[in-house]
Amino acid sequence: PRVSNDAVILVAEMLKVFVEEATRRAVKQADSEDCDNIDIEHFEKILPQLVILLGLNILDFTLHIRTSFNLILTVCIS
């Protein structure tokens, strides 16, 4: 099955938002540890928070993301 251009754009935008949020949280984690540089360990520490945020409908943002994922799945499967 082909993926529509709209689905590709939606996935790209969702990935951008996810990366931006991960970066913000990793910066905050590094700051809390008094680190001047951010490394992979900071991302590893915040990753569970992002997974929870995306998976459990904790915020309205999560509901939007899940709705978008469902749309993508529908488009990709059809």
pLDDT score for 57 = 44
pLDDT score for 65 = 64
pTM above 0.85, yes or no: no
pLDDT score for 2 = 85
Overall number of domains in the chain: 1
- Distance linking the first and last C-alpha atoms of the chain: 7
pLDDT score for 72 = 65
Nearest Cα neighbor of 65 from 8, 19, 25, 10 is 10
| Tens-place pLDDT, residues 12-63 | 887 888 889 889 999 999 999 999 999 999 999 998 888 877 765 445 655 6
Domain range for 11: 5-77
Average pLDDT over residues 67-71: 67
